């Protein structure tokens, strides 16, 4: 008997594609929420983190006596990993591939909104103001994509397709990369960030990337540059970002993630007319939950068949290598 436990968020519907797994021969399905996970874990072989930002497993982990595999229905696993899990033989997988194209399109949307002065046009529209002006070409502009994983690569491919010259920043410097050409070491951002029109943050949150985009990085950026964050809010020093926007160190921002979510109503970023704010939705295109369910369904079939997963998270670094 294989015991599958699904950790669900209160009020969130679980697709029948997942609940029907409990009808399979040799499968027992348990559904838990954060406050009942400890009761559900004894005997559990597989844990699906449908409540993908939950940290409940850390507190309940002492009850996990048979756990072999944890799947996070999200690209990032920073909220899931803790020392005991990292040091254990438990396999961790994530939703690699589900959000790549939607997030890449969202980045292009931010770029186009800034380049084509959409913020100003919408403001003029509200005032019935006919204000013709020149806008900016994106063909021939330059982008630095911080984070060279699957999503960063899809961003690079899409931006390249519309004529933007893309460079990557990752855990190690290298040349001849298939999607980025040149990749710089993200630890040296301050030395390389000048000269880029668009700086896109899609870095995973790890000890190495926490507050990676700081005051020194913003000061080194061109004053015409736009900063875009579709990765993790804690990779950015938010106070430094606010200061860079206020003082004109950078020209604008497109922000989908924040170190505090929801972004508080009185936060200064809300009032800035050179900032686009969206509520952590860059990957959420129509049908995204069903695509997550379908991915886990395929992986669960592979698990039961004893087949290797197409990807696993390297728990020591916090992402799929």
- How many Å apart are CA 13 and CA 162, to the nearest integer? 38
The active-site residue, picked from 30, 114, 192, 232, is 232
Burial classification of residue 321, based on how many CB atoms lie within 10 Å of its CB (0-12 exposed, 13-18 middle, 19 or more buried): exposed
Per the annotation, the verdict on 66 as an active-site residue is no
Per the annotation, the verdict on 232 as an active-site residue is yes
Q: What percent of the residues of the chain are helix, what percent strand, and what percent coil, each to the nearest 5?
A: 35, 20, 45
Pair type for strands 226-229 and 198-201: parallel
- How many Å apart are CA 182 and CA 241, to the nearest integer? 26
The active-site residue, picked from 84, 260, 261, 307, is 261
Per the annotation, the verdict on 261 as an active-site residue is yes
Burial classification of residue 131, based on how many CB atoms lie within 10 Å of its CB (0-12 exposed, 13-18 middle, 19 or more buried): exposed
The active-site residue, picked from 280, 289, 291, 297, is 280
Q: Where are the beta strands (DSSP E) in 18-153?
A: 27-32, 46-49, 69-72, 91-93, 142-146
Question: Which residue numbers are catalytic?
Answer: 232, 261, 280
């Amino acid at each position: 008997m294989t015991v599958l436990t699904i950790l669900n968020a209160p009020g969130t519907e679980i697709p029948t594609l997942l609940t029907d797994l409990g009808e399979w021969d040799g499968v027992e399905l348990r559904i838990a929420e954060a406050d009942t996970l400890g009761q559900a874990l004894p005997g559990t072989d597989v844990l699906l983190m449908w409540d993908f930002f939950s940290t409940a497993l850390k507190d309940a982990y002492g009850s996990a006596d048979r756990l072999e595999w944890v799947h996070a229905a999200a690209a990032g696993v920073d909220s899931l990993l803790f020392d005991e899990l990292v040091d254990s033989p438990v396999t961790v997988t994530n939703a690699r591939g589900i959000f790549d194209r939607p997030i890449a399109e969202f980045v292009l949307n931010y770029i186009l909104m800034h380049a084509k002065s959409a913020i100003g046009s919408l403001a003029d529209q509200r005032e019935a103001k006919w204000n013709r002006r020149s806008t900016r070409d994106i063909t021939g502009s330059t982008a630095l994509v911080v984070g060279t994983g699957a999503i960063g690569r899809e961003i690079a491919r899409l931006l390249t397709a519309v004529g933007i010259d893309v460079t990557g920043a990752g855990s190690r410097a290298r040349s001849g990369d298939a999607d980025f050409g040149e990749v710089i070491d993200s630890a040296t951002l301050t030395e390389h960030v000048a000269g880029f029109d668009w700086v896109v943050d899609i870095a995973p949150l790890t000890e190495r990337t926490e507050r990676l985009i700081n005051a020194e990085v913003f000061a080194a950026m061109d004053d015409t540059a736009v900063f875009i964050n579709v990765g993790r809010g804690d990779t950015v020093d938010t106070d430094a970002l606010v200061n860079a926007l206020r003082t004109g160190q950078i020209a604008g921002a497109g922000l989908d993630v924040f170190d505090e979510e929801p972004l508080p109503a009185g936060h200064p970023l809300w009032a800035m007319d050179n900032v686009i704010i969206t509520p952590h939705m860059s990957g959420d295109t129509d049908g995204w939950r069903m695509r997550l369910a379908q991915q886990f369904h395929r992986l669960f079939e592979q698990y039961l068949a004893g087949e290797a997963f197409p990807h696993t998270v390297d728990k020591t670094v916090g992402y799929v290598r």
